[in-house]
Amino acid sequence: MNIQELHSAFLANPSVSTDTRKIKENDIFFALKGENFNGNTYAQKALDCGASLVIIDEEEYYIDNRTVIVDDVLTTLQQLSNYHRKQCKAQVISLTGSNGKTTTKELINGVLSTTYKTIATKGNLNNHIGVPLTLLSIKPDTEIAIVEMGANHQKEISFLCSIAEPDFGYITNFGKAHLEGFGGVDGVIKGKSELYDYLISNKKSIFLNADDSIQLKKLATYIKKYGFSIENSKYYNIKLVEAQPFVTIEADGVILKSNLIGTYNFTNCCAAIIIGKYFNVDLSEIKKAIESYTPDNNRSQIIDKNGHYIILDAYNANPSSMKVALENFATLKKDKKVLILGDMFELGGSAMEEHQHIADLALDLSFEKIILVGENFNTTSTKSIKLKNFDDLKVYLTESKIKPKSSILIKGSRGMALERVLDII
């Protein structure tokens, strides 16, 4: 069965699955492999669960004519998604960046869905598997697909572009994320800019933050760009009114009050506004979409628990996002500020230096209490409270209660799972 034939089968049953625990009737099951599992071994279970077809790459697991043997299941999934993308009328907007990808994607989708039929990456399924799954969710009536792209090494964004073939693109920022895989900050810029490289070489349109010197320099001579700026009159002007605690914006004389905290979310909102404007979405609809968006999944969530004002930002962390989160927390007009910070991962040889910088910054900003958790933070030289792991944090918080009605920022990498603090406070 070639890709065209497989696509015909997909159109007859346009839903795919890579997990037999979540399979639905008539799904096409792709038997992917991982370090600790072999999807081929679940071929029979997939059929028993109602799959219409099973795609495998090991002959010994062939069952009957409902089983399709290919050279490589993952490659086939990627090829099918690219073929499907080419058959669809939907325009594809891709976005990447070090911080804010998922929030920006949700804001863009919220704005565009007021006027168009859209689909967008679910959660953060933004890698070499997630991007194909997103593309395969494009329906015949989909007009715009918003595809988030994540990467932790060179050439990954370039590869994802070859699958998604975006018509438009936006890079949120270039920060200190995945330094180990990218080989430093310059490597991050080079890797994320692969989206620019694809769009420029294919004469596609680019959205940009014209106040970002890196973006402005890289796109200086490119014509098909549309950007926003606080002051540069060559671009669409948007003003930050305040962020106490929520970001409030002025665009074309209209005030938009978001439910997002932190000045770092200002540019995320701006991207959604400029993209909405490009696609002729009425500003009143843009306003409704941005004002109705509420973050979840441990991303800058505001939680009131036992009298505490809690900012839960524990989905992920890197030196750039940690820095802006601390600086924003310092500006909030709140009393009894407490920091609970967890280790930042994937920093390679920069780990000790970057954790020390954050520990120093936390002290410089003069919070009432600073609690640092994890092996990396534990090696820093600081007067703050240092704990080796979450179990030690649990003991500390149980024995040393945080003062009533405190303001608490909780932030760390996903592997630290600091949202568990909520069960203790």
> How far, in Å, CA of 283 to CA of 224, rounded?
23
Quick check: is 76 in a domain? no
Q: For the residues of 245-296, what is the DSSP string, one character each?
A: SEEEEEETTEEEEEEEESGGGHHHHHHHHHHHHHTT--HHHHHHHHHH----
> How far, in Å, CA of 217 to CA of 211, rounded?
10
341 φ, ψ (degrees, to nearest 5): -115, 135
> How far, in Å, CA of 409 to CA of 362, rounded?
12
Quick check: is 382 in a domain? yes
Q: Do residues 214 and 97 share a domain?
A: yes
Quick check: is 314 in a domain? yes
CATH number reported for the structural domain that contains residue 108 in this entry: 3.40.1190.10
Bridge pairing between strands 118-120 and 144-148: parallel
When divided into structural domains, the chain yields a total of 3
Residuewise pLDDT in 10s, the chain (425 residues) = 899 999 999 999 999 999 999 999 999 999 999 888 999 999 999 999 999 999 999 999 999 999 999 999 999 999 999 999 999 999 999 999 988 899 999 999 999 999 999 999 998 899 999 999 999 999 999 999 999 999 888 899 999 999 999 999 999 998 777 777 788 888 888 999 999 999 999 999 999 999 999 999 999 999 999 999 998 999 999 999 998 889 999 999 999 999 999 888 999 999 999 999 999 999 999 999 999 999 887 788 899 999 999 999 998 899 999 999 999 999 998 889 999 999 999 898 999 999 999 999 999 998 999 999 999 999 999 999 999 999 999 999 998 889 999 999 999 999 999 999 999 98
Bridge pairing between strands 246-251 and 337-342: unpaired
Helical segments of 35-146, H only: 43-48, 73-87, 101-112, 130-135
Range of the domain at 14: 3-71
Q: Do residues 142 and 14 share a domain?
A: no
Q: Do residues 10 and 47 share a domain?
A: yes
